[in-house]
Amino acid sequence: MRSAPRCANGHTLPELHRSARKHYRRDQLDDSVVLYAAAHVLHSRPLDDEDDPGRWLMISTDPAGRLLELVAPIYDDGYELVIHAMKARAQYLAEL
């Protein structure tokens, strides 16, 4: 059984895969910003239907109010692993 750190409100923080850090420099992100965004999701939906675990797209805000897009597979036991993080693209902002 995996265990993950928890936010002050008791919610489990996701882990960050190294692939999530690909756009950090360009978008001026860091781990703390992405973890904050993961705890402040405005909109989420499944990204695809057949994969196990299913990947979820999340539109979130960072501490500065910027909108970010995150992608994370969510496992049956609730474990989340953020595999993608960047400034939200227009194609996803239209879903808000």
pLDDT in tens, 27-86: 999 999 999 999 999 999 998 766 667 899 999 999 999 999 999 998 888 889 999 999
pLDDT in tens, 6-21: 444 455 789 999 999 9
- Tokens 């939906």 locate to 45
Residue 3 maps to a domain: no
Reference 82, options 26, 41, 49; nearest CA is: 41
Query: What is the pLDDT averaged over residues 86-90?
Result: 97
Residues in the chain: 96
Helices (H), the chain: 24-27, 31-38, 90-93
Range(s) of the domain holding residue 89:
15-93
Q: How many domains in the chain?
A: 1
Residue 67 maps to a domain: yes
Residue 35 maps to a domain: yes
pTM of the complete model: 0.84
Name the more confident of 23 and 77.
23
**What pLDDT is stored for residue 77 in this prediction?**
85
**What pLDDT is stored for residue 49 in this prediction?**
67
